[in-house]
Copies of this chain bind each other. A is one copy, B any other.
Amino acid sequence: MNYLTYLPVFSKLTKSQQDILTRSAFIRQFSKNDILHNGSQDCTGLILVLCGQLRAFTISDDGREITMYRLFERDICLFSASCIMNSIQFDITITAEKDTEVLVIPPEIYKSIMEVSAPLANYTNEVMASRFSDVMWLIDQIMWKSFDKRLAGFLLNEANIEGTDTLKITHEAIGNHLGNPREVVTRMLKYFVNEKLISLSRGTIKIIDKNGLEKIINR
């Protein structure tokens, strides 16, 4: 099985480009909470998620976090290979949120093909535009959406990703996703409990009124 065929652009490359990629790409396994890529210190390479789940986030000078986007099966991460482009002047950290298997394409290999291949350069453009859209959505959220709406949306999205209404996640982890202190998360969760939207127990948040959370988002 050549996992590179997961890339929609693979079939548009020349035979020799396909061979170079196939020879140089390699599989790596990560356990939950492992760090795959750590800001500008690394140029890990292009990462194609084979199974599992990754989280891409930025960290403030004093260690606070906010999630930029998540990556799921068949998603590709470009910014783990930020050295392929001069103009990428920011750092992203990537961790495994579940046990994860990825295909890594070494950055210098990808770059050398991208420089001569219009299909691969255009594919890279589309991947970057897609992440750009995620980040523009994020700006819209943090600028204009009140925290109750953001938290309600986060809980519904988590339930959707995990396929369960019983979420095993700490208040601190939610704060790291949304860029807010733990206390702010705890206070709003307690408000949701009072409104009978969720129930809380140690390390677990149970959604009991999905419609109610959706109403908060749209009010």
Contact = CB atoms under 8 A, between A and B. Distances in A.
Most buried by B among A127, A136, A137, A179: A136
Contact of A126 (B87, B118, B126, B130): B87
A138 B68 CA distance: 13
Interface stretch (A44-52, A56-64, A190-198, A207-215): A56-64
B139 A142 contact: yes
Given A136-B90, A139-B139, A61 B144 contact: yes
Interface string A108-124: 00000011111001101
A118 B88 CA distance: 19
Chain multiplicity (copies): 2
A128 interface: yes
Interface in A54-97: 58, 60-62, 64, 66, 85-90
Contact of A143 (B60, B89, B131): B60
B126 A128 contact: no
A135 interface: yes
A143 B66 contact: yes
Nearest to A113: B118
A132 interface: yes
A138 B87 CA distance: 16
Nearest to A135: B135
Given A118-B116, A118-B118, A87 B136 contact: no
Interface string A121-158: 11011111111110111111011100000000000000
The 3 closest A-B pairs by CB, nearest first: A121-B121, A87-B129, A90-B136
